[in-house]
Amino acid sequence: MRWRLDLAYDGRSFRGFAYQPRLETVAGALREVLARTLRLASEPLIVGAGRTDAGVHALHQVVHVDLPARPGTRRALEPARLVASLNAQLRGRVHVIAATPVEDSFDARFSATWRAYRYLVCVDGPRLDALDALCWSVRGPLDIASMDAAAAATVGSHDFRSFCRRAPRTEPGDPITRLVHEARWRAVTDPFDLAPRGHFVRLDIRAQSFCHTMVRSLVSTMVAIGQGRLAPDTVGRRLEAPERDRLPAPAPPAGLALVAVGYDEGAP
């Protein structure tokens, strides 16, 4: 039976989402716990909607996994008991939000129609480990209007070669086309008063799919625009004429989180 699992996780201790032998990954931790819980002969394959990089968080990731009926019985797995058992063993590093039986045609990756990420920036806040685990601390002031205009330039279908790491077995001239549905910067509140002398701004971006380092590269470029270190039209120009040279390194992973995955109406 195919199951949809909705997850959240703290990416700091993981080498990314995708399973890698001998490395600590989100999919690897979930495979191990599922195999132990259900006494499986081998670890099941986990397919995720988004392959988050090392250090990137998720507030709402979606995966699918094919599981047998409960070993030794004719009873089907009970979603609530499965969630409780997995969470007890994952101990807060990964949290299973829900477990839902789905049709075999459901694919967490290929059935998804969009993914949404957010990137959190702390402006002029204290340099604390607690902050660095959740955001990128930068010096201001930032021109948020210029950053938001740069974000708006990404909306639509564009070649994002300037902002993506090239995939293996591809040529430098191969386009990396992605469809961005919306992107905007805005100020956000600091409910825990973590940066009393600073403030937070956030990029919210939603696209059909993303390429490797795309959001973090866009963030570092937009922050440089906001600081006045790059021209306001830099993002637009690099989308029209892709060139990676003389752009900042990607922003740190800890500020990035996958926050939602969308499916066609009627999908579970």
Domain boundaries, the chain: 2-102, 113-263
| Cα(187)–Cα(164) distance, integer angstroms | 26
Residue 266's pLDDT band (cuts 50, 70, 90): low
Common-topology check for domains 2-102 and 113-263: yes
- pLDDT, one tens digit per residue, over 127-155 is 888 889 999 999 999 999 999 999 999 99
Place of tokens 């599981």: 67
**How far are the Cα atoms of 30, 70, 117, 254 from residue 104, in angstroms, in the given order?**
20, 18, 27, 34
Say how far residue 120 (Cα) sits from the centre of its chain.
12
Per-residue confidence (pLDDT) for residue 70, from 0 to 100: 61
Q: Please indicate whether residue 267 or residue 155 has the higher confidence score (pLDDT).
A: 155
The number of C-alpha atoms within 13 Å of 164 and in the hemisphere containing its C-beta is 21
Annotated catalytic residue, options 53, 107, 204, 233? 53
Amino acid letter, 176:
I
In the annotation, is 53 catalytic?
yes
pLDDT of residue 265: 66
Average pLDDT score over residue span 152-176: 90
Mean pLDDT, the chain, integer: 93
The pLDDT value given to residue 76: 64
Q: Is residue 135 within 8 Å of 118, Cβ to Cβ?
A: no
pLDDT per residue as tens digits for the range 182-236: 999 999 998 788 888 889 999 999 999 999 999 999 999 999 999 999 999 999 9
| Architecture of the domain made up of 113-263 | 2-Layer Sandwich (3.30)
Burial class (CB in 10 A: 0-12, 13-18, 19+), 264: exposed
Residues present in the chain in total? 268
Judged by DSSP in three states, 150 sits in: helix
Question: What fold is seen in the domain 2-102?
Answer: Alpha-Beta Plaits (3.30.70)
CB 158 within 8 A of CB 178: yes
Distances (CA, A) of 177 to 148, 198, 219: 21, 37, 18
Q: Quick one: which of 51, 67, 48 has its CA closest to 6?
A: 48
Q: Does residue 74 surpass a pLDDT of 50?
A: no
Instruction: Note the pLDDT of residue 168.
Output: 77
pLDDT digits (tens, 9 = 90+) for 37-58: 999 999 999 999 999 999 999 9
Q: Which residue would you say has higher pLDDT here, 72 or 173?
A: 173
Contact call for residues 25 and 16 (beta carbons, < 8 A): yes
Question: For residue 76, what is the DSSP state?
Answer: P
